Structure 1
Amino acid sequence: MSLPYEAAQPRRVLTAVSADGTHLHVEEYGRSDGPTVVLAHGWTCSTLFWAPIVRALSSDFRLIAYDQRGHGLSAAPATREGYGTGVLADDLQAVLEAVLPDGESALLVGHSMGGMTIMAAADRQAVRARTAAALLVSTGSSRLLGSTQVLPPRLSARWLRRAFHRQLLVSRLPLGPVTPVAKAALKYGVMSPGSTAEQVAFCARIVHACKARQRSAWGKVLAVLDLDAELAALTVPTGVLVGTVDKLTPKVHAHRMAAALPHCTGLTELPGRGHMTPVEDTPAVEAAIRALAADHLVARDAASRGATTSPAATVGEQTVGEQEKSA
């Protein structure tokens, strides 16, 4: 595995505590004095998913990545009530309050379920106050089962596609070891035909590490997802990005979101890319992040930092279980 697809070493690790007491694993990378970008990963992924993006941006930004509950090193919910879009919003709010002092803001970047997290939290005042802009990457706000294309529309009836895709989301079958067959299936289902063997192996390593019970529980949430009202409440400048051959959240979702957003800064389609766009086309996603940051974050961040203490000092006072790590 080459450097872009190896775990990046965080500058420090800390724990944020959500409203229901769930502990969330948070990692900080890059410059302590840089503008802050918060990265929210998708279903079955972890902070490791962002390693290529972290390496691309660390020289200029303060990067915060966290594991969604039930993923990576974050705690799994103890009850069924611990799964849902409301708790995703709770978790994002807890992370933002932990890493951003009052008066400072960040660019929020969400891939797949991470984008849904940003939508779910759009009406939270504590989140709005800490959000300068957002980027919704390879995601959707509702009606996922009706448009998913893992089972090709031309080869199956609509009811069969819905049943198949729902079972794909909610299955509790273990994925098992990463084998050539497993990598081929992952590439077909969620990545583009042009994705490299190294990219596929990297994504398979991440997805197969997600535990079956948590994968299924979150799949049930996604199967009935409806965040259209919350999307309409996302008033910050927001960009939308999608791969043109994304089978999980096809570009029809990106077009719907771009049309519904109160302040859409633009829709970017990446030709020939699948669902895992931050891995499949890191330079394009990096460019989208840098453009939004330049237009909506950097000047605002510089002004606010002139009147507040540094994030490095404040975060330590606001979080639980922080561990310093060398870069």
Structure 2
Amino acid sequence: MMTAENIFKHYEKDLRRVETEIARIFSSDVVVIPDIGRHLIGGGGKRLRPMYLLMSAALSGYAGDARYVLAGVIEAIHAASLLHDDVVDGAGVRRGKPTSHSIWGAQVVILVGDFLYANSLKAAVSQQNLKTMEAISHAVAKMSEGEILQLQKIADPEITEADYLRIVESKTGALISASCRIGAILGGLPEEKINALTSYGLKSGTVFQIYDDILDFKADEENLGKKLGRDLHEGKITLPLIYLLKSANAQEKEELTAIIDSTSDDDMPDEDGQRDLKKVLALFKKYDVIEKTIDKAKEIVAEAKAELSIFGNCSEKDALVVMADYALSRNK
């Protein structure tokens, strides 16, 4: 039986090639740039975005070296977005380690993020493939839009499920979608199949983010690498909270709105913040909010897998199906 674990094992050698390309993008005579690269890239992570590109390329019958270069580009763009996001969020910890800006300062880290975007695009241009460049450029633009929309919706109890899905599709789905699209482009697939893999990637990436938002209310720091309820503390209204606001009675909704309004820029919730979190978790249990959110994620997983119906049965397709399910089986 194929599992996510043996898929990761299968791609270990390819991902080592991708790591070399990532290091090349971080390369600079300005020593702080590769230093931050080692801190960030060495902080763990499964390289999901490169994996999706490699798997899509395999399904498309492509085995050339451009997949390593472009997978490295995708991961470096992701790294740049993390650098910027952590500064915007004021996050002190990522995957259990101090964030880069807490060590080197926000100004340096923002500029290193800019360097990464520029160097990533330079590496992508070197492949002289306009279609892959279009996919990458589109993803970067969508990621920026998602971040801006999320900032506009901070502590806004009127945020809708459609607003939330637009944010996560842009912030997380867009780059995974681009990864799958690039793999299909490299394999020279017809437009219909390119679009199917693109949509599969968007839906899979969206589920990864929805489940991350669920984990923020049910995982611990050791597994997740951040404190429980961090999103709530920052005023980010994610899908579980949106569902709770829909289900709560008038008094509960008033209390929830007050909790949301008390969002803080402090790195950690104080005693009041912890008490508020306990109230929210109790209401989640009362209204089965986590279960409802997981059900929504499962719907999107089913839609993602349905996109693959255009492809014939093969181990490469099976791997993508397994990875769609993997999004909902993680504890970190």
Q: What is the TM-score when the length of structure 2 is the normalising length?
A: 0.32
Structure having the higher Rg: 2
Q: Indicate the structure with greater helix content.
A: 2
Q: What is the TM-score when the length of structure 1 is the normalising length?
A: 0.33
